[in-house]
Amino acid sequence: MTTATVLEISGLTLDLGGRRILGGVDLAVRPGQVHGLAGESGSGKTMTGLAALGLLPPGARTGGRIELEGTDLLTLPPRQLAALRGRSVSMVFQDPSTSLHPMLSIGHQLTDHLRHHLKLDRKTAKERAAALLTQVRIPNPREALVRYPHQFSGGMRQRIAIAIALACEPKVLIADEPTTALDVTVQAGVLRLLRGLCDDLGLAVLLVTHDLGVMSAIADQVSVMRHGLVVETGPRGRVLTDPQHEYTRTLLDSLPGRSTV
Amino acid sequence: MTPHPTAPLLSVDDLVVQYHRPGAPPTRAVAGVSLQVRAGEVVGLVGESGCGKSTLARAVCGLTAPAEGRITYAGTPVRPLRVRRRAPALTGVQMVFQDPYGSLNPRRRVGAQLSDGIRTAAERGEAPDGTSPEDLLTRVGLPASAAERYPQEFSGGQRQRIAIARALAARPRLLVGDEPISALDASAQLQVATLMRSLAVESGAGLLFISHDLSVVRLIADRIAVMYLGRIVETGPTAEVWDEPRHPYTRALLAAVPRPDGAGVLPAELPGDVPDPADPPSGCRFHPRCPQVFDGCDREEPQLIAGGVACRLYTA
């Protein structure tokens, strides 16, 4: 607990169509740390991530608080929330082939929100875009700006999606299964990139993943969710080697390779 | 390869599959692959996306026409599927596709789709064993009442179980799974994979299991074949390949798998991207990314040697 939390979720509840999806979620994400959120699908991990961005489906009723440096995002008027979204909190989605716009050039997609949020002029925004692509290690960044998503491989696309998310220097990055659609070799590169960005820029990352291997590789803190509740939170090493909760133990035991060892 | 008393059920020899694009040279998605699957054996085919493993699976089922080479199933050559139905003898090869949302007919009841398979087996001349759609559903762990329902009423994992039941209904002697678990939840993946293995082995069928998930393949396959850019670079018994990978690509692939040990070790990165299969590198296809590349790798293409590895490190 050396650094203050930047994103604090407390008692978050979510009801959708008369069903309780989240039953009081508590999470604290600190700068320079990767906070992993694990659990089976349907456990509410993606919804927790979306709630922090105000991207919940229509008709969702929320309770509790999501505080970004003291501001409650849940009660913020839409206009002010829109000013934060993509600026202070941004998101990387699972599938880079659908999260990027297929008909806009990479340069366009990288500069749009830069110019909107930071009021940069066209030339400065372009410079910044090229710098961002260099940061995520895209070869020939200047040429890449005029190309389209389909001209890149899956791993490159996810790097571009990360560059877009990082463009306005957000404080919090929510990554929802960022490597699930990628091959292991490509996944390794993206994980290294995320860890590096976290260490260098002091970014706070909320990493939603079902893959405990990925979790073990880059997360500092791990929370395990089940049926809309956090059942266990703790430092990575402890949660993965000495789980306190029965459910975490079941999850670990069901892993390929674990059960046979 | 070790000699085996039984003749292979499926034999693929020097298979080449090409895709044609207008105004460009053909892309060799599979560039000379030989592979055998024996009855009761589970062969796992792994590799990165774009390496041609799905194309190979489709060619084995006759869905894609090969440009060169031969595919024989139980002694009969596999003919590519055209307008007419597959020859009855070839219906002993059944496939489970990647996406259970696309592979089941949304407008027919599950029971009716399973009955198609049972009828197929009868047309092939298999003696009727009285299997009903309900029995098949029970075997894959679904309630018998599922037969009366439509695919949309089921989750992804359940649909994939239905797809497996449908493939089994035709009493296959060779089951081909083309990434059958990648569209499923992590919690359902291992269950479905082990289910496929046990059902195939129980019925004495061979299983060709294609996946990019090495940790799952390791658990269910007897033998692993590693594919890179249209060629098999290493093959061998699962335990051997896993414990002592020889080809630098296999090593890189295994090193990239993150291990859930809580140690916080970042997996090793393999630099570079998979090259365009339309324009493969000269010599060894892996040499531009290979950490152990040495003089001559860019000129000489290594062949799969008897030990089951295609790398010049082991021929020199």
The contacts of residue A191 (CB under 8 Å, 6+ apart) are A179, A214, A217, A218, B258, B266, B267
Examine the pLDDT at B274 and tell me if it is beyond 80.
Answer: no
Least confident segment among A256-260, B184-188, B255-259: A256-260
- Output the average pLDDT for chain A: 89
Q: What pLDDT sits at residue B95? A: 94
Q: What pLDDT sits at residue A136? A: 86
Q: What pLDDT sits at residue A185? A: 82
The contacts of residue B235 (CB under 8 Å, 6+ apart) are B1, B35, B223, B224, B225, B226, B241, B304, B308, B309
Least confident segment among A80-89, A132-141, B164-173, B230-239: A132-141
Can you give the C-alpha Rg of chain A in angstroms? 18
CA distance B227 to B312: 16
What's the pLDDT band for A123 if we cut at 50, 70, 90?
very high
Residues on chain A touching B260 (C-beta within 8 angstroms): 212-213, 215-216, 240, 252, 255, 258
Calculate how close chain A gets to B312, using CA atoms only, in Å: 22
Size of interface A-B (CB pairs under 8 A): 106
Q: What pLDDT sits at residue A57? A: 87
Kindly state the average pLDDT of the residues B73-91. 89
CB contact under 8 A, B260 and A184: no
CB contact under 8 A, A185 and B48: yes
Kindly state the average pLDDT of the residues A77-104. 90
| Tens digit of each residue's pLDDT (9 = 90 or more) over A138-180 | 888 898 999 999 888 788 898 899 999 999 989 999 999 888 8
Kindly state the average pLDDT of the residues B265-287. 84
| Lookup: tokens for A221 | 């803190």
Closest residue of chain A to B190, computed from CA coordinates: A256
Q: What is the pTM of this model?
A: 0.81
State whether residue B218 sits within 8 Å of chain A by CB: yes
More confident position, B205 or A180: B205
Examine the pLDDT at B272 and tell me if it is beyond 60.
Answer: yes
β strands within A84-131, DSSP E: 89-92
Closest residue of chain A to B257, computed from CA coordinates: A184
Provide residues of A within 8 Å CB-CB of chain B: 40-41, 153-156, 183-189, 191-192, 195, 210-219, 236-241, 252, 254-258, 260
Residue B261 is nearest to which of A184, A189, A240, comparing CB atoms? A240
Kindly state the average pLDDT of the residues B280-298. 90
Closest residue of chain A to B212, computed from CA coordinates: A183
Q: What's the distance, Cα to Cα, between the start and end of chain B in Å?
A: 20
Q: Of how many residues is chain B composed?
A: 316
What's the pLDDT band for B186 if we cut at 50, 70, 90?
low
What's the pLDDT band for A261 if we cut at 50, 70, 90?
very low
Q: Is ipTM beyond 0.85?
A: no
Query: Which residue from B49, B59, B45, B63 is spatially nearest to B12, judged by alpha carbons?
Result: B59
What's the pLDDT band for B2 if we cut at 50, 70, 90?
very low
Residue B260 is nearest to which of A154, A187, A213, comparing CB atoms? A213
- DSSP-derived letter for residue B46 is E
| Lookup: tokens for B235 | 């093959």
Examine the pLDDT at A15 and tell me if it is beyond 70.
Answer: yes
Task: Let me know: does A219 contact A204? Beta carbons within 8 Å.
Answer: no
Examine the pLDDT at A259 and tell me if it is beyond 70.
Answer: no
Calculate how close chain A gets to B88, using CA atoms only, in Å: 37
Query: Which residue is listed with tokens 């089976």?
Result: A40
